[in-house]
Amino acid sequence: MEKQLKRDAFFHYHFLSDVTYAPNGKRYAYIDAQADTEHNAYTRNLHIGVQGKTTPLTADGKVEAFIWDDKDTILFSAMRDEAIRKKVEAGEEWTSFYRISIKGGEAQPAFAVPLNVQKIEKVKKGVYLLMVLYDLNYSDMYACKEKAKGQLLKQKQDSRDYEVIDELPYTFNGMGYINKKRMSLFLYQESSGKLTRISDRNMAVSHTAWNDDHTLLYYSGYAYQTVKEDKEGIYAYDLTAKETSEIVAPHQYELYDLQVWNNQLFFAGTETKRYGLNENPWFYTVDGNKCVQLLAENENTLGSSVGSDCRLGAGRYALIIHDQYFYITTQNGDSCLYAMDKQGRQQKIAAYTGSIDCFDINQEDIIWVGMKEQQLQEIYHQQLNSSNMEQLTHIHAKMMQDVYTAKPQLIQFHRDGYDLQGWVLLPKGYDTKKQYPAILDIHGGPKTVYGEVFYHEMQVWANEGYFVCFMNPRGSDGRGNAFADIYGKYGTGDYEDLMMFTDEVLRAYPQIDEKRFGVTGGSYGGFMTNWIIGHTKRFAAAASQRSIANWIAFEHTSDIGPDFTKDQQRASTWENLEKLWFHSPLQYADQVVTPTLFIHSDEDYRCPLSEGQQMVSALMEHGVETRMVMFKGENHELSRSGKPLHRLRRLNEITDWMNHYLK
């Protein structure tokens, strides 16, 4: 008999990321993260693989990021030095790097940089490019003499209880308050410890790319002093002349990727003129006269947007090698790997039912971290000239053996000119002669997708006796720009898609007791949950997570509020206030009768805590059974990368709420 998947099973999952080949292509490295319930955190260790055989390279769980320094050596950042840790706790900025040989032995200190380094790239032996989170008020202490440094450090310590806001945006989800903070570029020379600033002091940098001989660095960014506008510029820094030139002026393209292709600049970007901020990028080249030329149109997203709560970390989603541009893209409910040649011709290289999360390529092989069908993350391999895929690792095979895993059952229907699809997970021990409760789970975005990948929370509910149903309504990713276009239409066609899907599920499975149907979702799914309970009484319970209640407030409190609201709702506080209020679930809160749980985090700057508070207050005023659980120290990513014990408490709260009203 199959065993039941426990709510806390994710404590034992391995979260894989950053898979990267060694320079000689014979070995690969990746980060393996796991829950550490004793410290309510995650360990992150380096692992080395040769084909399917993998071995841990570190064991203390403190690895933050890594690169290959040469074919036998890995350079990684970690907080291991007690003296430096105390300096950081006192307010100084330091990042420590270590080297470890893949042939064995302990990691050895390499160097420490007096800045908050977020990313490192090797330029040449002993020279590195650093992407630094730079505080314009205090990070200058790296270049100060001791007296001036002490004064600056004291000012920082004295200001710990205050936040000054004089820029927009002043927060960013996962980073907290970012007022006067910029992603800056520095060159670091290991032998001398010399740091050289590359980017303008006020510029926020996003992408970087090197020419073939590493003498010219391209980077994208936007310099601002008060309000950061959209659409970055592209710049080039000449390492020999130590001069910067503008290649593509700002305010033209939203950039998704920046590369150098045979010493010609290449980028993926969009002018946002057709479908707004979420418009999928086209592919461009820039010639020697700084003229931008369209290489290929593209109607699909760049990267994987297939949702799951079983990932932690990221990795490469695009790469130029062998005179081809390789990139991950999302199609329907799957993400796959494509290649494009210099003529703009594109072809699918690697694909299956599921997701490719990150990848790398050497001379002959592709390697990637992925989720195939209902498996947790594993590492896969395929030769470039073949379509035969090989699963290299079986990390989760033993722990998932004999555990009930519900296989998604496809539901297809046609509505309003669209062929729509969703899935149903059958409850453990399913008996066609019995009646069961059900949960409708709505994804975030809205420009993301559900697919046939392992989703822990859904599998838990199926294991606890629920039908679980989920779909990709209009507004979702994976089907081109036109399908994703619900700008100015939130809560209309997308809501109707979800309701018709629910009808189709009930028609296909009469074993579902329609009086015991619950609904939940996070972010856009939280917005839609709020919208649903104000527009129908068909659901017996709801759990709204990190939601949006009031677009007028959201415009001025979310880290993406001004741009996202105007773009998605085609309105603003001063331009069609009535439209913002029409699309706000709060307006319809007096119609709610559904018992509703609200989950929010106090450091969620994407869908701020106040959004949930408004709904809770409104429902209480109107006598609706409600409860709010606010997680301290968590942000918008609570369900995916929140602290392990917090993630379990969240899952318990939602499941227990549904059990109370649906069972």
State how far the Cα of 87 lies from the Cα of 94, in Å rounded to an integer: 8
List the Cα angle 637/61/643 in 5-degree steps: 25
Kindly list the distances between the CA atom of residue 197 and the CA atoms of 132, 183, 244, 624, in Å, as whole numbers in the listed order.
10, 12, 11, 57
| Closest-CA residue to 384 (of 368, 352, 361) | 361
DSSP secondary structure letters along 440-484: EEE-SSSS-B--SS--HHHHHHHHTT-EEEEE--TT-SSSHHHHH
pLDDT value at position 269?
98
Could you check whether the bond before residue 473 is cis, i.e. omega within 30 degrees of 0? no
Closest CA to 446 of 501, 502, 522: 522
Task: Return d(Cα 380, Cα 370) in angstroms, integer.
Answer: 7
What span, in angstroms and rounded, lies between the C-alpha atoms of 58 and 60? Answer: 6
Closest CA to 114 of 90, 96, 89: 96
Q: Where are the domains of the chain?
A: 204-299, 408-662
pLDDT cut 70: percent of the chain above it? 100
Architecture of the CATH domain 408-662: 3-Layer(aba) Sandwich (3.40)
CA distances in angstroms from 287 to 248, 267, 290, 346, 459, listed in the order given: 11, 12, 5, 21, 51
pLDDT computed for residue 18 by the predictor: 98
* Mean pLDDT per 10-residue section of the chain, whose length is 663 residues: 96 98 93 98 97 92 96 96 94 97 94 98 97 98 94 95 96 97 98 97 97 96 94 97 97 97 96 95 96 96 98 97 96 97 96 98 95 97 93 96 98 95 98 98 98 98 98 97 96 98 98 98 98 98 98 98 96 97 98 98 98 98 98 98 98 98 96
Question: DSSP assignment, residue 614?
Answer: H
Give 204-299's CATH code, choosing from 3.40.50.300, 3.20.20.60, 2.120.10.30, 1.20.200.10.
Answer: 2.120.10.30
* pTM (two decimals): 0.97
The pLDDT value given to residue 25: 83
- Arithmetic mean of pLDDT over the chain: 97
Determine the length of the chain: 663
Q: Residue 109 forms beta bridges with which residues? A: 98
Number of helical (H) and strand (E) elements in the chain, helices listed first: 13, 38
Question: Within 10 A of 651 (CB to CB), how many other CB atoms are there?
Answer: 20
pLDDT at 277: 93
CA dihedral 634, 41, 459, 446 (to 10 degrees): 30
